[in-house]
Amino acid sequence: MLQSILFILISATAAWFAFKGFYRIRRNIMLGKPEKATGNPSLRWKNTFLVALGQQKMFKNWLPAFLHLFLYVAFVITQVELIEIFVDGIFGTHRFFAPFLGGFYTFVISTIEILSVLAFVATLIFLSRRNVWKVARFQKPELKGFPFRDANYILLAEIVLIIGIFCMNGGDKALQLRGLEHYHPTGAFAVSSWLGPSLFGALDTPVVIGIERFGWWLHILTVFGFLVYLPYSKHLHIILAFPSTWYARLTEKGEMANMPEVQKEVRIMMGLDTPDANASGDLPEFGANDVFSLPWQQVLQAYSCTECGRCTAACPANLTGKKLSPRKIMMDVRDRADEIGKNLDSGSQTLESYNDGKSLFDYITPEELHACTTCNACVEACPVLINPLDIILQLRRHEILTQSAGPNEWLPMFNAIENNGAAWAMSAERDSWKH
């Protein structure tokens, strides 16, 4: 009874802190401006199942894709055992589902154990890739500090979770062999049926019970810790990759969104529209300069970023030594949204009149924006359909059209477009060009 009360209290506490964290993330995402998702819903569902659930784009790089698959499948299947832990924790039972499922229960737990071994191997390799082999895309400046430690924290937590699973299952199998009434037979599990007796078979019964309980609590406390930590981690993509992929743009990757204000002016100049006599004389805000002027779907993508660095590894500007890193662009948007959220939580700002004197341009430099060639390599590389290019374009549009800034090297091109309708200085009018 005491254990059940303790379990319920810890579960409720973890759920409360997790709810606060996820509510904060949702609030930060919705700081972006409203924008409806258009396009074929069936195609959106297809993208969600193939890309987010099926990890289709991960397999363009097969080695980390298979390693990630081991972790992913182990994480999903282990939730079956987690449900049983909740039932046992609340009601004080032990292996509640075993008597009802029989051999199928043995098969499920055996599958979890095999996947856990594969996940353990994958975790060791991932830790080595980051800390020993130092894969180049994990050594970029934007990953210094917490982002680098964050990945290690989760990988180490995965090892702790696996230790908990095998202490729990191994201790349980050793106790079953001793005929204790509470530890009823569950069949031969794939790993712990031999590992448990080998490690714990010679120990006294109270010690083995302590090991089994230690593994049980270690497992569930690691899960609770992960749940509370998740809103602060890049591993939030485990959840947000699904809505982010569903809301991803469906247009062709090379297609750039037009600006309605500019379109209208061009149509008026060409005689296709008439000026609105009631229109305001104030110039509109072009592009975006902060989280508030980005569509909320793009803020969602920033929080869905896995920080894998495939976009940056594929970026030709970054490969030639330029400062631009598409991954950093997404991380900067997320960091800016976090900063705004913290100011709102502290009461130093209100949403209706927010002005802290900062914008995304305090995070992203003009040098980064100007280096982009709009080649869409980053968009193609992202395993969850994130589009850093859209954000880069909106920031550049704001810089050039609203701030009247931009690199001096671009001025001749702008003048040529304004005067000749082309990027090149032409002596003839555009409508007299020969095909």
pLDDT in tens, 14-72: 999 999 999 999 999 999 999 988 888 999 999 999 999 999 999 988 888 999 999 99
pLDDT at 140: 95
pLDDT at 428: 67
* pTM exceeding the 0.85 threshold for the entire prediction: yes
Residue 87 corresponds to which tokens in the numbers above?
């039932």
pLDDT at 20: 97
pLDDT at 411: 80
Q: Is residue 233 within 8 Å of 239, Cβ to Cβ?
A: no
Domains and CATH numbers, the chain: 31-37+287-405 (1.10.1060.10), 61-246 (no CATH)
pLDDT at 259: 85
pLDDT at 427: 65
Residue 310 corresponds to which tokens in the numbers above?
């495939």
Q: Which amino acid is at 287?
A: G
pLDDT at 316: 97
Residue 43 — φ and ψ, nearest 5°? -70, -35
pLDDT at 417: 77
pLDDT at 280: 67
pLDDT at 373: 94
Separation between Cα atoms, residue 28 and residue 36, nearest integer Å = 18
**Chunked in runs of 10, what are the mean pLDDT values of the chain (435 residues)?**
92 97 98 91 95 92 90 88 94 92 94 96 96 94 96 96 96 92 90 95 95 96 96 96 95 84 77 74 84 97 97 97 97 98 96 95 96 96 96 95 87 79 70 62
pLDDT at 256: 86
